[in-house]
Structure 1
Amino acid sequence: MNIVIAVGLFLLGLLQANPGFSQVTPEDIKQDSIHTLELTYSLPQRASSARRILSHPLFIPLALTSYGFVGIENDGLKALNYEFREEVQEHYPNFKTSVDDYLQFSPAVATFALKMAGKESEHAFGSSLRLYVTSGLLMAGSVYALKSITHIQRPDGSTYNSFPSGHTATAFVAAEFMHQEFKNTAPLLSYSGYVAASATGALRMLNNKHYFTDVLTGAGIGILTTKASYWINHHFFEKGKSSN
């Protein structure tokens, strides 16, 4: 029924914009033809621009982070947070686990283990260790600053440092680190870390420690800070070595 109403309104709009089709002049047809041609050529260009934006490496982490920031003040997103929490508490009222405390590091541990086993990757062990540590420091600084500034109470009421989720940010640092190291040598393997990172975020909500926006923002920050670490390494370390 909604589709019918929408189509009806669309047709009504066309009729209002073009009163009396029988009064259309050759000049009107010419202008409409030009407009149609312009639209025909502009639509593929717009679609191409949209595809470029959606496929940009920073689109997903920026979208996740932006959602979280908007959710701090937006009533609709805050209501969605509470709905998620109520659903989780209704179905898993006594859920409690410490698995997330260890799972957050698992992609990084797996990455270093694979490197030690001789799996080909983007960087040598020492360089990758520097990259991971740099990513972690950038993430920790960002998360700590945001927790201090926002001062949002956790769902369980325990403390006022809910936003963003540090566990989730740590997990996605490790997942993005794994992806960056193996994306060219083992593409499927490189994405496996995101499974553990996503599970970490889910467990934080199941443990009643974070809201949905906390987890999404933590994921975005983890990915962004790791990408920043690799950007710094490429522009200041690798280029510096190649120029010497």
Structure 2
Amino acid sequence: MRNSFVAATLAVSMAVAPVAHAKSDNLTTVGDITQIAVPVGAGIISLLKNDTEGFFQLAEGAVYTAAATHTLKAVVHAPRPDGSENNSFPSGHTSAAAQGAAYLQFRYGWEYGVPAYALTALVGYSRVDAKRHYWRDVAAGAALATGIQYAVTEMGYSLTDTYVMPYINGDQVGLTASVKF
């Protein structure tokens, strides 16, 4: 299955990239689709391998990556190259794709990771070409997602052992939380 995934990914990449580059709108569309296709493809691979633990690592990494990316966008408030909005840094498209690629790399090895990172590079290029991001935004999105997925997949950081419970003690009412790493 690994060889077929690699072959299919490379074939799609080589077929799509020249067509997409021919017209900038097509490239933008390819980037929009690929940012979702990489992590969804990673999820499908995990399910086909009956790797439930890995599937949950992928999902957890996706949630943390999205939260971190959108928090940074709101805090940094960097203008886009086209001047349309102030949420350029980091690239959300790139962080989404890179998170799936990083998961594949850390969980299943370079045979899965390299093609997925190639698709992530295509996503990043599409965002710069569309003047929606600077290269720094793309690099930051990829680095952020890779770091988060590394922490989840390789280092075992997880909030799956998190408990939040209400408490009532006389006049006091509140929540107590426990997080196990």
* Count of residue pairs the alignment pairs up: 137
User: Retained in 2: the 8 A contact 1:162–1:209?
Assistant: yes
Moved more, 206-215 or 97-106: 97-106
In the alignment, which of 88, 95, 104 is matched to residue 24 of structure 2?
Answer: 95
Quick one: which amino acid aligns to residue 54 of structure 2? Answer: S
Structure 2 counterpart of 1:233: 156
Identity %: 25
Structure 1 counterpart of 2:41: 110
Q: CA RMSD for the aligned pairs?
A: 2.3
Structure 2, unpaired ranges of 5+: 1-20, 161-181
Once the two structures are TM-superposed, the CA of residue 220 in structure 1 deviates from its matched residue by 0.3
In the alignment, which of 120, 138, 153 is matched to residue 64 of structure 2?
Answer: 138
Structure 1 counterpart of 2:126: 203
Once the two structures are TM-superposed, the CA of residue 232 in structure 1 deviates from its matched residue by 5.5
Structure 2 CA distance for aligned equivalents of residues 113 and 136 of structure 1: 14
In the alignment, which of 160, 164, 183 is matched to residue 86 of structure 2?
Answer: 160
Structure 1, unpaired ranges of 5+: 1-91, 119-123, 238-244
Structure 2 CA distance for aligned equivalents of residues 143 and 218 of structure 1: 7
User: Retained in 2: the 8 A contact 1:134–1:229?
Assistant: yes
TM-score, normalization by structure 2? 0.67
> 1:152-191 maps to which residues of 2 (within 5 A)?
152-183=78-109, 187-191=110-114
- Deviating above 3 A after TM superposition, structure 1's stretches of 4 or more consecutive aligned residues are 112-118, 231-237
TM-score, normalization by structure 1? 0.51
In the alignment, which of 194, 199, 207 is matched to residue 117 of structure 2?
Answer: 194
Larger strand proportion, structure 1 or 2? 2
Once the two structures are TM-superposed, the CA of residue 235 in structure 1 deviates from its matched residue by 8.0
Greater C-alpha Rg? 1
